[in-house]
């Protein structure tokens, strides 16, 4: 999805406007029409309002009407009813149509501008970073991926390979049988660790959550590489291996949210410290914009409540995406908010740069 963000950020302004659509696709629980999604109501109203501004004819109106028709088809035929959020970026006249389905709701927003509005998409990528969740017992592993708020099971190593019964093997001593069990547990832990590493690499996961049987967690931790160990967040949670997927997602969600909040706070602290020390950090709109333009920025840091207009904020996000910088959205970080809520951690400083 980061590739999608960058491609959208590189979309140059032209004669035709781009529709940027973010929808809350959760069914309403109350009211006269329970089950109706508020986002679709907002979309219909906003498309009607935008169409009225385009005049009775012309390329802009033709492109817009083609977009509206394509969006309607997508909602009817392709959008998943399980998604809680949906983002669409469309400009028929310039061959643009891309959709992002999310496991968390967006704030309803429908705009027509020269370039895509990318703040909510960048925020989704920041707050819903890809994580792998491994739930294990002594002979079974279930692996899950959480990405863009969508939690799904992707399998694990072959249960049967290291599955063993609890009967005593004839002629074996208790001690010998225990060594047999311990070896199988160690072998299975290695197999599970290898499967986890492959999945983390394939998904580009930035976080690993371990859960399950306490007896199985220790050999699994020991079998993980140092790179995987560095991604493990928090203590292992006690979750039964037979827990249904939806319940598993419910158990893990607070842990992932806490991890993201801690990361955001840490980055806000690092930025303030870097600025105070005259290090690799800048604060303020002008300094941040300049650093982005020169490609110096490693991480753009934005307070969600920063007092900048939407166009300016979108311009910062677009610059960050096109230069390979991460975007971190923080909330409730007092020192950053007091300083305007906009800053950046830098890859390097230019000679003569005063931040």
Q: Largest alpha-carbon pair distance within the chain?
A: 91
Scan for tokens 């491609």, then name that residue: 7
- How far apart CA 86 and CA 83 sit, in angstroms, is 7
Q: In 3-state terms, the chain is what percent helix, strand and coil (to 5)? A: 45, 20, 35
Q: Give the neighbor-by-neighbor strand order of the sheet with 326-330.
A: 281-283, 342-346, 297-303, 326-330
Q: What per-residue confidence (pLDDT) applies to 355?
A: 47
Q: How far is CA 300 from CA 195, 288, 322, in A?
A: 34, 8, 12
Q: What per-residue confidence (pLDDT) applies to 182?
A: 64
Element at 208 (helix H, strand E): strand 207-212
Scan for tokens 């690993």, then name that residue: 208
Element at 283 (helix H, strand E): strand 281-283
Q: What per-residue confidence (pLDDT) applies to 163?
A: 39
Per DSSP, helices labelled H in the chain are: 2-9, 38-52, 59-77, 119-127, 174-203, 214-223, 226-231, 245-276, 285-293, 310-322, 334-338
Q: Is 185 helix (H, G, I), strand (E, B) or coil?
A: helix
Q: Give the neighbor-by-neighbor strand order of the sheet with 96-102.
A: 96-102, 85-91, 18-24, 109-113
Cα-Cα end-to-end distance for the chain = 31
- Considering the entire predicted model, what is its pTM? 0.81
Q: What per-residue confidence (pLDDT) applies to 27?
A: 86
Q: What per-residue confidence (pLDDT) applies to 194?
A: 93
CB neighbour list of residue 68: distance below 8 Å, 6 or more residues apart: 47, 51
Give ∠ CA 327-6-105 in degrees, rounded to 5. Answer: 60
C-beta atoms surrounding 43 within 10 Å:
24
Q: What per-residue confidence (pLDDT) applies to 3?
A: 87
- pLDDT below 50 — which residues of the chain? 158-172, 177, 355
Q: How far is CA 18 from CA 23, 44, 63, 69, in A?
A: 16, 17, 10, 15
Name all domains of the chain by residue range, CATH numbers in brackets. 2-117 (3.30.960.10), 131-243 (3.30.420.60), 263-346 (3.30.1330.30)
Scan for tokens 């333009």, then name that residue: 293
* Alpha carbons within 13 A on the beta-carbon side of 267: 26
Token pair belonging to 199? 């999945």
Residue 277 gets which letter from DSSP?
Answer: T
């Amino acid at each position: 999805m980061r590739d999608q963000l960058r491609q959208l950020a590189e979309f140059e302004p032209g004669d035709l406007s781009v529709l940027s659509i973010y929808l809350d696709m959760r069914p309403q629980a109350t009211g006269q029409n329970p089950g109706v999604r508020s986002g679709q109501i907002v979309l219909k109203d906003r498309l009607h309002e935008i169409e009225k501004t385009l005049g009775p004819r012309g390329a802009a109106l033709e492109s817009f009407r083609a977009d509206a028709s394509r969006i309607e088809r997508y909602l009817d035929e392709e959008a998943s009813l399980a998604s809680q959020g949906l983002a669409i970026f469309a400009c028929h006249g310039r061959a643009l149509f891309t959709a992002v389905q999310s496991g968390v709701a967006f704030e309803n927003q429908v705009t027509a501008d020269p370039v895509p509005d990318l703040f909510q998409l960048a925020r989704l990528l920041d707050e819903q970073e890809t994580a792998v969740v491994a739930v294990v017992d002594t002979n079974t592993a279930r692996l899950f991926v959480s990405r863009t708020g969508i939690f799904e099971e992707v399998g694990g190593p072959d249960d049967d390979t290291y599955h063993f019964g609890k009967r005593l093997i004839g002629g074996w001593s208790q001690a010998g049988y225990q060594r047999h069990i311990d070896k199988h547990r160690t072998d299975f832990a290695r197999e599970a660790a290898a499967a986890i590493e492959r999945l983390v690499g394939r998904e580009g996961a930035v976080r690993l959550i371990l859960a399950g049987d306490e007896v199985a967690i220790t050999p699994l931790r020991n079998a993980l590489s140092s790179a995987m160990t560095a991604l493990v967040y928090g203590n292992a949670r006690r979750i039964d291996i037979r827990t249904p997927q939806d319940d598993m997602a419910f158990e893990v969600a607070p842990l992932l949210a806490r991890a993201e909040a801690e990361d955001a706070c840490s980055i806000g602290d690092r930025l303030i410290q870097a600025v105070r020390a005259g290090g690799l950090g800048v604060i303020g709109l002008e300094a941040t914009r300049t650093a982005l333009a020169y490609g110096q920025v490693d991480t753009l840091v934005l307070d969600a409540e920063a007092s900048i207009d939407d166009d300016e904020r979108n311009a910062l996000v677009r610059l960050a995406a096109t230069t390979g910088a991460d975007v971190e959205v923080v909330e409730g970080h007092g020192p950053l908010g007091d300083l305007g809520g906009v800053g950046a951690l830098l890859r390097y400083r230019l000679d003569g740069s005063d931040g």
